[in-house]
Amino acid sequence: MAKYHIALIEGDGIGPEVIGCAVRVLEAVGFDAEFVPIEAGYWAYKKFGTQVTDSAWQIISESDCILKGPTTTPPGGGETRMKSVAVTLRQKLDLYANVRPCKSRPGIPVPTKFTDLDFVIVRENTEGLYKGVEFEMDEDMVVSLRVFTRKGCERISRFGFELARREKRKKVTLITKANILQVTDGFFTDIFNKVAEDYPEIEHEDIFVDRANMYLITRPTYFDVIVTSNLFGDILSDGAAGLIGGLGIAPGANMGDNFAMFEAVHGSAPRYEGMRKVNPTAMILSSVMMLKYLGEDALAEKVENAVDKVLVDGQKNKELVTYDLGGTATNDKMTDEIIKRLE
Ligand code: NAD
């Protein structure tokens, strides 16, 4: 009997490739788990008419957590209106906090002078503009509702402060557009400020998303922990990934009170499907976040160190890393190099 049961979403596009790399590293480091592939993804929608089948929900309910490869969501506008697999899982499993660390890794070429970044974006993951309340008023007008609840704002604010306290961070910044979206973001700001009273040792502030976006580019060291709503967090975190070397190395976690799902920030990059050339690091570092969640800190450290060694060695030997880091390796080759450096 394995110690852990991990529901595995292989995903669409490049998903099966990067998830395969992550599983290989986890097995090589001695993670005692059974990985159970489940029927979830755009492929499942096309095959079964649902993006997450009943059997998948059943397996999830018996698992310790989900390790998820990226999945495809066809854009609206055409005939197919499939709700995103990620959003479906986050909402149904109430995984309300999307945690996206923005941490510089050694040796990676980055587009700015900031080479030692370490901040975390905590994005509300279940409501806001992604609540999915969209409708057609008439043939000339369509509407999306931005839904905030007291419970949603309270718990994401608290999650941000608890993370700051646990990781000994100094400041939590709420990012809103409360000058324009006064009802929703004003409500969020009031609740955030109230929660902040329980964390007197941690500095807090709220700033508007337009200024925050500029700061991300001009002075990203300004940030420590960011708390923000669903859409803003989605956009800002891809930008933050760019700061540390791109989507190929940016990991993420979707956290609830009793369950979690780990996935890279990036999507299914369909144009790279089958080429086996995308960077597996984001998915492997998402597995590191999973190991830490499960309390397997020693294994997490081993994998993280091995990844960093390959990133450093890859700056001298381009055969070790993938194209996005200026290299020529396939994702399988880069994974082999990571496995070689596990110790
Ligand atoms: P994407 O993240 O899939 O790809 C954008 C670009 O980023 C790629 O063309 C590539 O240049 C680069 N990139 C992404 N992953 C990389 C990696 N591992 N290594 C190196 N480079 C990498 O975003 P997109 O093209 O906007 O979306 C494609 C599909 O993914 C859409 O269907 C979208 O809905 C879906 N998506 C899914 C998730 C998720 O599953 N959580 C997240 C974002 C997008």
Q: How far is the CA of 169 from the centre of ligand 1 (A)?
A: 30
pLDDT confidence tier of residue 74, bands split at 50, 70 and 90:
confident
pLDDT digit string (tens) for 139-198? 999 999 999 999 999 999 999 999 999 999 999 999 999 999 999 999 999 999 999 999
**pLDDT at residue 70, rounded to an integer:** 98
Q: How far is CA 338 from the centre of its chain?
A: 21
Mean pLDDT for 56-85 is: 90
Q: Do 272 and 315 touch, CB atoms closer than 8 A?
A: no
* Tokens at 146, concatenated: 């931005």
Q: How far is the CA of 171 from the centre of ligand 1 (A)?
A: 30
Asked whether the predicted pLDDT for residue 79 surpasses 70, the reply is: no
Given the CA of residue 263, which atom of ligand 1 is nearest to it? 41
What is the H or E stretch that residue 42 is in? Answer: helix 42-48
Nearest CA, atom 6, ligand 1? 269
* Ligand 1 lined by 22 (C-beta under 6 Å): no
Report percent pLDDT > 90 for the chain. 96
pLDDT digit string (tens) for 269-328? 999 999 999 999 999 999 999 999 999 999 999 999 999 999 999 999 999 999 999 999
* Ligand 1 lined by 71 (C-beta under 6 Å): yes
Q: How far is the CA of 196 from the centre of ligand 1 (A)?
A: 35
Asked whether the predicted pLDDT for residue 17 surpasses 90, the reply is: yes
User: For 125, what's the count of Cα atoms within 13 Å in the CB-facing half-sphere?
Assistant: 32
**pLDDT at residue 107, rounded to an integer:** 84
The position carrying tokens 């704002």 is: 153
Q: How far is the CA of 275 from the centre of ligand 1 (A)?
A: 14
Q: How far is the CA of 268 from the centre of ligand 1 (A)?
A: 5
- Considering only CA atoms, which of 243, 253, 283 is closest in space to residue 267? 283
* E strand spans, 59-117: 65-68, 97-103
* Ligand 1 lined by 267 (C-beta under 6 Å): yes
pLDDT confidence tier of residue 81, bands split at 50, 70 and 90:
confident
Nearest CA, atom 23, ligand 1? 267
**pLDDT at residue 334, rounded to an integer:** 98
**pLDDT at residue 80, rounded to an integer:** 64
- Domains of the chain and any CATH numbers: 1-99+249-343 (3.40.718.10), 111-118+126-243 (3.40.718.10)
**pLDDT at residue 225, rounded to an integer:** 98
Asked whether the predicted pLDDT for residue 343 surpasses 90, the reply is: no
DSSP state of 127: S
Asked whether the predicted pLDDT for residue 78 surpasses 70, the reply is: no
pLDDT digit string (tens) for 200-247? 999 999 999 999 999 999 999 999 999 999 999 999 999 999 999 999
Q: How far is the CA of 165 from the centre of ligand 1 (A)?
A: 32
* Ligand 1 lined by 247 (C-beta under 6 Å): yes
* Ligand 1 lined by 254 (C-beta under 6 Å): no
Report percent pLDDT > 70 for the chain. 99
DSSP state of 172: E
> Coil, strand or helix: which one is 137?
strand
Average pLDDT in the chain: 96
Q: How far is the CA of 323 from the centre of ligand 1 (A)?
A: 15
Q: How far is the CA of 146 from the centre of ligand 1 (A)?
A: 25
Nearest CA, atom 26, ligand 1? 267
* Ligand 1 lined by 98 (C-beta under 6 Å): no
